[in-house]
Structure formats: C-alpha cells, structure tokens
Amino acid sequence: MLTKRIIPCLDIKNGRTVKGVNFVDLRDAGDPVALAKQYADQGADELVFLDISATLENRGTTLDMVMHVAEQVNIPFTVGGGISSVEHVDALLQCGADKVSINSSAVKRPELINELADKFGSQCVVVAIDAKQIEGEWFVHLAGGTIPTDIKLFEWAKEVEKRGAGEILFTSMDHDGTKNGFANKALSKLSDELNIPIIASGGAGNVQHFIDTFEKGKSDAALAASVFHFGEIPIPELKKDLKDNNIQVRL
C-alpha cells in the first residue's frame, strides 16, 4: 500500500502566507519561507505554495520566493498561481520547484496540460480544481473561486487525466476553511473514476478529518492550511495518530 501524504498549503498574497474561510476573509499566517522550513523539519511529506492573487492580478508567481524555499527545504514542493505557459513552468523548475499546479489556465486552454506533460513529464503537472456544489452538482470555479463556470467536476477531472496530469488537487469551496471535514463523497468518486492520485483540500479541522479522508474519501494525500499555520494540529502528532489508525504514513 502506498503511504498517504500530509501536505501543508501556503496561500501567498503580497509575499505573505494568508488563510481565509470559503476563499475570503484572509488573515496573515506568517512568512512563507520560514513556515516552509518549519513544516519540512516537522515531517511534512510535501508543500504546496499557491499565489492566490496571481491570476486575478494577471501576473506570474514570484521566482525569488521559490528560490528561497528551495534553499531551505529538502522535500518536494509544488508552486501554483498565474501559471499559463511552458516558459513560466521552466523558470519555476529552474528555481527549484518540483511540480507546478495549474487551474484557471488549464480550463481556459486545456492543451496547456498536454504541453506541460510532454515537456516536463506527468509527474510534474498537478491540476488544481476548485469546485462548489450547486443544486447537488459540482461545478468548477476559476480565479481563486471567484468565477463560476458550467464545467462539471467529474467530467473535467477525467479530461485532465487524459491530457496527462499526474495528480489532481481537489478543493471543495463549500468546505474550505470551515474545519468541518473534507468533501469525502466527491473525493471517493474521483478516486474510483480516475487512476491518478487525488489530493484532498478544504475542510481539515481535526485529526479525525484526516483519518476520514484517507478511509472514506480514498484520498492519496491530504492538504491543509490553517490547522497547521496556527498550531492546532502538529504534524508529528497527526502522523502518529494516523499510524495508530493503520494508515500508512512516513514517520
């Protein structure tokens, strides 16, 4: 059985880590480079950095920050936010990123997934999907959740896999920041219908939520932000509890 991964997510705005609820009401959570080192030292398996205003402000992710993170951590990290070209991904990887996460740009031009997978390999390409339930159906949203679309979650996820994505990072906008647990029904369906790893995002509030998303949601990895940033769930304790519940993790 593959080990399950714990992934702290650092949402970046104006060079600082921020965290909100349902994608709004942001508050400061610290310096991203210092947090990254702290999480690596605590035993996080990977890190994700999302420049949450890059798409809205029509600019790319900060290369300087990526370089500083690469100097400080020895675990894989993914960078996302405003990425829309092979050239930009090349620059991020040159600065030390291991993977890139694309979201709005992939929906607007799906061929980008093929181009990145062909050039850098599927293992490097994470497609992030932010979705919200509307009248019982999950719909994809863009630009940090600010733009609704008529694209259905499960159809889009299948296309993403077909085009060469190596992983899907699924965030339930309904659950984001609420600390009420992950969207396990949707996650389980994604896991059943796809052959690539699914990263659960949105809703972590306690250790049981992580256990549930691995058991009920069949998630391959669980991503969280505020419970880590504000010291509510220390990563070493979380991993010990997961191990005690027969969930394979790297200690």
- Supply the residues annotated as catalytic: 11, 130
Q: If DSSP states are collapsed to H, E and C, what string results for 35-72?
A: HHHHHHHHCCCCEEEEECCCCCCCCCCCHHHHHHHHHH
